[in-house]
Structure 1
Amino acid sequence: MEKLKHNLARRQFVKVLTAAGLTSAFAGHLVGRALAQAGRGPSDLDILQLALTAEYLAADAYTRSRFGGFEGLVKDYLEAAQEQEEAHVKALRDTITSLGARPVERPTFTYPVEFLPRNQLAILRLLNALEDAFVGAYLGALPLISNKEILKAAGAILGNEAAHRATVRASRILLGDRELPGPRSPADRAFEVAITPEEAQKAVGGFIRR
């Protein structure tokens, strides 16, 4: 039963990242390969490559947010997040290289909002949706990882993404966003929830330019 649950969790993770639109060709290849391997899900390297693509997206979105004209604490929050996402990118690329593999290339991204001062709340809502997806995807990945060092690294990144989500929520509160779901608090939940394919599609689907 435990083995069955493990295999189902691996398949679910592949579905999540495919639905999220994270390098659809690459993720689709992994899905096909996973189904062809008699139930064996993606390897740690596969997960690292998919996580790298997600971190490319995060770093790109936060970099673009600098054109949003944010000031004060909000500006500081977003700049710190951008630097940390780039650190995630470097760490993942270095890890993949150390395993003797070539890191997946950084895609070109497209967004449903213009990163301009008049769209500040829309930018923050977008970043919030992305962070929801990243936190959920990393949580879903944890039981799938075999290597303990990679598992610890993924957990460390998960914690940082959750902090980013909290600071984005704090930014929405500071700017008076009336559409903020949940309590008007940066920390909106007691327990994290693994992302579903539907939630991933809503959050980040279609952001990679085809």
Structure 2
Amino acid sequence: MFNFDLLENDKKASRRHFVKVLTAGGVSAALASQLGQLALAQSGNVSDLDILNLALTAEYLATDVYTKALTVPFPQGIKDYMAEALKQEEAHVKALTDTIRGPFNAMPVARPQFTYGSLEFNRANQMKVLETMIALETAFTGAYLGAIPLIQNKAVLSAAAAIAMNEEAHLTVLRDGLIGLGGKVEGPQVPNGRPLGVAITPQQATAAVSSFIRK
């Protein structure tokens, strides 16, 4: 029998991760909680093109944070993972851009400038960098899962599912890296820390990503 208590626990963990993403970007904990509640309450029609552009903005952020993380003197195994993950995030950007320009005949959203608040990408902040990336990958996975039920185009649906699987793999490796450095992760202290990915709404995803965009 399916354990619904386990699913509810994962939902609570997802909300905590959402607040962590916002606060990592410099938003106060109180405001982050308010944004989370607002996002949960919001609803409305979201087009496939809206979802594609939101995903593209998130992938821009992913390529930016991986590029910056590669300047940190992590152990070689972690750096090797990050270098490969960056290539994969860049592939996501290209796939989304090509889809928006091609089948949708639209202009992709422009790449914004990103900021990470007071976080500095250096040796002293290795664990903080990994914690921020774990929070981001949690949000990325949740955003794709949240978008899947809203997508009308089957090709876009398939692509979103494929990218979500890749982001979940990134999350697992980042958890492993943080544990390997002596850090703590949420939930079980193992790389594969949850049985189910947890969806977040497009509004939650927008708030999470927007908190890292330089105004």
TM range (shorter): 0.7 to 0.9
Q: What is residue 90 of structure 2 aligned with on the other side?
A: 86
Q: What is residue 42 of structure 1 aligned with on the other side?
A: 46
Aligned pair count reads 175
Instruction: Give me the whole-angstrom Cα distance separating, in 2, the residues matched to 1:162 and 1:94.
Output: 23
Q: What is residue 107 of structure 2 aligned with on the other side?
A: 102
Long gaps (5+) in structure 1: 1-15, 21-34
Instruction: Give me the whole-angstrom Cα distance separating, in 1, the residues matched to 2:207 and 2:106.
Output: 31
Q: TM-score, normalized by length of structure 2?
A: 0.75
Q: 1:164 aligns with which of 161, 170, 181?
A: 170
Q: What is residue 51 of structure 1 aligned with on the other side?
A: 55
Corresponding letter in the other structure for 2:61: L
Matched, 1:182 2:205: no
Q: What is residue 25 of structure 1 aligned with on the other side?
A: none
User: 1:42 Cα deviation (Å)?
Assistant: 1.8
Matched, 1:195 2:210: no
Q: Runs of 4 or more off by more than 3 Å in structure 1?
A: 196-205
Corresponding letter in the other structure for 1:125: E
Instruction: Give me the whole-angstrom Cα distance separating, in 2, the residues matched to 1:114 and 1:59.
Output: 17
Distance 1:199 1:117, change over 3 A: farther
Q: What is residue 9 of structure 2 aligned with on the other side?
A: none
Q: What is residue 75 of structure 1 aligned with on the other side?
A: 79
Three-state SS of the structure 2 residue aligned to 1:41 is: coil
Q: TM-score, normalized by length of structure 1?
A: 0.77
User: 1:75 Cα deviation (Å)?
Assistant: 0.9
Contact 2:54 2:206 in 1 (8 A): no
Instruction: Give me the whole-angstrom Cα distance separating, in 1, the residues matched to 2:148 and 2:72.
Output: 34
Long gaps (5+) in structure 2: 1-17, 23-41
Q: Percent identity?
A: 53
Contact 2:52 2:96 in 1 (8 A): yes
Q: 1:137 aligns with which of 127, 134, 143?
A: 143
Contact 1:67 1:117 in 2 (8 A): no
Instruction: Give me the whole-angstrom Cα distance separating, in 2, the residues matched to 1:200 and 1:141.
Output: 10
Q: Residue by residue, what CA displacement relative to the aligned partner does 1:9-64 show, whole Å, maximum 9, x if unpaired? A: xxxxxxx9xx97xxxxxxxxxxxxxx9xxx86121111101110010001100010
Instruction: Give me the whole-angstrom Cα distance separating, in 2, the residues matched to 1:42 and 1:67.
Output: 37
